[in-house]
Amino acid sequence: MQELTSIEELNQFLEKNPEAILLKHSTTCPISSQAYDEFMKYVKSVETKPWALIIVQTARPVSNEIADRFGVKHESPQVLYIKDGSVAWHTSHWNITEKNLQENIV
């Protein structure tokens, strides 16, 4: 896991990992806390793709860049599965469950 705090770090991460998962997380939101727990269960249950964490309160420019670059409206919490430079799948809020992640990130 890598926490992305700048657009430069985002660019480097995606260049190094053309297939990756981005998790946008709010440290003050109870829904995001639940989604984070589900995401961590997913990470522990399967061999995952490389993934990065974006804390929206401290890395808002990164979060905005992701929304602009991939054309996916910003939400928090939010998971984006990136494959070959585009979003292959994304979800947010209560849809971030271990089962849903296992079924859709392949």
State the amino acid at position 58 in one-letter form.
T
Residues 46-62 as b or e (16 or more Cβ within 10 Å = b): eebeebbbbbbeebeeb
- pLDDT band at residue 106 using 50, 70 and 90 as cut-offs: confident
For the segment 64-95, what is each residue's pLDDT rounded down to a tens digit? 999 999 999 999 999 999 999 999 999 999 99
d(CA 4, CA 105): 21
Q: Which structural domain, as residue segments, surrounds residue 42? A: 2-104
Q: Each residue of 41-72: pLDDT tens digit?
A: 999 988 889 999 999 999 999 999 999 999 99
CATH classification of the domain holding 68? 3.40.30.10
- Number of structural domains, the chain? 1
CA distances from 80 to 18, 86 (A): 13, 10
